Structure 1
Amino acid sequence: MGLLGDELAFAQALTVQERESVMALGSRKRYPADAHLLIEGDRSSHVLIVLAGWVTVSVATDRGATRLILGLRGPGELLGEMAALDRHPRSATVRALGPTEAQVIGGDAFRRFLALHPRVSGLVIRQLTSRLRSADQERSALASLTVLQRLAHRLIELSRPDTSGPYSSFSRATSASPATSAADSVVHLAQDELAATVGATREAVAKALRLLRTQNIVRTGNRMVEILDPALLALLAEGHQE
C-alpha cells in the first residue's frame, strides 16, 4: 500500500516543450495552509499542477466527519484529471498542508491539449492506472491487515530515505563500523493525521503506538514519531509477532 506515488510526477515526465505548452494553458494560484484546492462532490472540471508545497488527497468515510487520506502529492503532480476527463463530480478533496502554489488549467483547455498530444495523454492514462492500482491495494490492506500492520507499513513508507515528502527528516550517524552506523528517521505527523492515512481511529493508532513504544521500536513526541528499530518495524508490518 502506498501513500506517496512511486512514479515520476506528471510535470517531470513532460518534455521541456510539452511542459511550457501545458503551463501556458493556465495561470498560477497561491493557496494558504489548510485551503481546499478541490472539494469532493464539486462539479468543477479544472485541473491543477502543483508547483510548490504539498497537499493531501482524502475522501469521506462512513464515520461522518472522519476522512481517509488516500495520498500525499507534491511538486509536479497533476490533480483533478478525473473530473476533467469524465465531467463527473470530484471524487476526493485536496487540501494544502502548507502554503501551496499550483497552475490552474481549465478542463476544456486541458482536454483539447490531450487530444493534440497523444504522448501526454498516455502519461495521464498511466497516472490514472497507477493510482487505481494503489487504491485497490489500500482497500485490500483495510480488509486484511491489522491497525498495527497498517501503521507499521505507513511509518516505513513515510520514512524511506528516497521520500522527499513533507513528513520525513533524516540524519545519518557516523561510525567506524558500517555495521553500527544508522539512519535515524522521523515522521512528522500527529496521531489523528496518522490515523487518517491508515483508515483507523485515533484511539486505535494511539494503542498501536503505545505497543511500539513499549518494545522500543519507536519514540513519539509532539507531531513526531521517531523510528528506532526499522528492521523490527518491518517484521511487524509483515505480520510477525514480537
Structure 2
Amino acid sequence: MSLFGQDRSFLDALPPADRTALLAEGRPRAYEPGEVLIRERDTSAHVLALLSGWCVVSVETERGARLILALRGAGEVVGDLAAVDQRPRSATVTALGRVEAVAVSGDRFRRFLAARPHATALILRQLSTRLRSADVERRSLASETVLRRLAARLVELAQRAGRRADAGTVLELPLPQHDLAAAIGATREAVAKALRLLREQDVVRTANRRVIVIDMPVLLLLARGRERPPAGPGPGSGAGPGGPAEKSPPGV
C-alpha cells in the first residue's frame, strides 16, 4: 500500500517543452493550509498541477468517516480523472500546508493530452499505479492489523518525506493522529494505542503533529508482519548467553 504516487511525478516526466506548454495553459492558484482544492462529487473538471506543498486526497465513507487515499506533492497533477472521464469528482483534495498550483481547464487538458501521446501514456500509467495501490490497500484492510498498517505508513512517510536528525528520522508532514488513522482505515483510538506501544518500545517518539522514527529496523519488521527481529546477535552486540536481551517490537 502507498500514499504516494510514482517515484517520478507527471510534470517531471514530461519533456521540458511540454511541461512549459501545459503550465502556460492555466493560471496560478495558491491555497492555505486546510483549504479545499477539489471537493468530492463536485462537477468541476479542471486539473491542478502542483508546484509546491502537499495535499491530502480523501473520501467520505458511508458512516461519515474520512478515509485518506493519498498524499500528492510538487510535480503531480490532481483532478485529472474528472478531466478525462468528465464525471463528478471522486475524492476531496485538501491542502496540508500552503500549496501553489496551476489550474488548467478540463477542455485544455484533454486537448493537451490529445496532441501529445507521451503525456497520455504518462496519465494512463499514473491511473494504473493508483488502481494497483487501491487493490493492495483493500487487501491490507481485510487482512492486516492496525499496528502493521501503521508501521507500514510510518516507514513510507519516513522514506518519502523524512528528514534525518540526531534523534532519528523526523516525518516532515504535519499529520495529526486523526489523519494517521484516516490513512490506514482505523479509529483514532486504535492508532493512539498502536503509537503508545511503539513509544514504549522506543521505536518512535511523538510530539505535536510530529513523529520521529528512532528504530527503523524494528519498524520495518513490523511493517512486514514480523513479531520480532531475526534470531542471532550482530557482531559486538554482547547478546547471547548472559548478555543483554535483544529488543523485540511490540506484539501485534
Does the TM-score normalized on the shorter chain lie above 0.5? Answer: yes
Q: Percent identity?
A: 53
Q: Residues 122 and 6 from structure 1, CA distance in 2 versus in 1: closer, same or farther, beyond 3 angstroms? A: closer
Structure 2 equivalent of residue 120 of structure 1: 119
Structure 2 equivalent of residue 177 of structure 1: none
* Residues 1:11 and 2:11 are matched in the alignment: yes
Partner Cα separation in structure 2 for residue 213 and residue 54 of structure 1: 27
Matches for 1:81-230 after TM superposition, within 5 Å: 81-160=80-159, 163=160, 165=161, 168-171=162-165, 173=166, 184-187=168-171, 188-230=174-216
After TM superposition, give the deviation of residue 157 of structure 1 in Å: 0.6
Partner Cα separation in structure 2 for residue 62 and residue 185 of structure 1: 36
After TM superposition, give the deviation of residue 186 of structure 1 in Å: 2.0
Identify unmatched segments of 5+ residues in structure 1: 174-182
> What secondary structure sits across from 1:159 in the alignment?
helix
Question: RMSD value over aligned CA atoms?
Answer: 1.4
After TM superposition, give the deviation of residue 105 of structure 1 in Å: 0.6
Contact 2:204-2:212 within 8 A present in 1 as well: yes
Identify unmatched segments of 5+ residues in structure 2: 228-248
After superposition, the C-alpha distances for 1:28-51 in whole angstroms (9 at most, x for unaligned) are 111111111100000111111001
> What secondary structure sits across from 2:63 in the alignment?
coil
> What secondary structure sits across from 2:70 in the alignment?
strand
After superposition, the C-alpha distances for 1:113-163 in whole angstroms (9 at most, x for unaligned) are 111111111111111111111111111111111100000000111011xx2
Structure number with bigger Rg: 2
Contact 2:5-2:126 within 8 A present in 1 as well: no
Aligned residues: 226
Contact 2:34-2:97 within 8 A present in 1 as well: yes
TM-score by length of 2: 0.86
TM-score by length of 1: 0.89
Q: Report the residue type matching 2:23 in the other structure.
A: M
Q: Report the residue type matching 1:184 in the other structure.
A: G
Matches for 1:59-78 after TM superposition, within 5 Å: 59-64=59-64, 66-78=65-77
After TM superposition, give the deviation of residue 20 of structure 1 in Å: 1.3
> What secondary structure sits across from 1:43 in the alignment?
coil
Partner Cα separation in structure 2 for residue 68 and residue 36 of structure 1: 15
Partner Cα separation in structure 1 for residue 134 and residue 117 of structure 2: 26
Structure 2 equivalent of residue 180 of structure 1: none
After superposition, the C-alpha distances for 1:86-109 in whole angstroms (9 at most, x for unaligned) are 111100000011111111011111
Q: Report the residue type matching 1:199 in the other structure.
A: G
Partner Cα separation in structure 2 for residue 125 and residue 7 of structure 1: 15
Partner Cα separation in structure 2 for residue 50 and residue 186 of structure 1: 24
After TM superposition, give the deviation of residue 15 of structure 1 in Å: 0.8
Q: Report the residue type matching 1:169 in the other structure.
A: R
**Which segment drifts farther, 122-131 or 212-221?**
212-221
After superposition, the C-alpha distances for 1:175-205 in whole angstroms (9 at most, x for unaligned) are xxxxxxxx71122432111111111110000
Partner Cα separation in structure 2 for residue 240 and residue 108 of structure 1: 49
Q: Report the residue type matching 2:83 in the other structure.
A: A
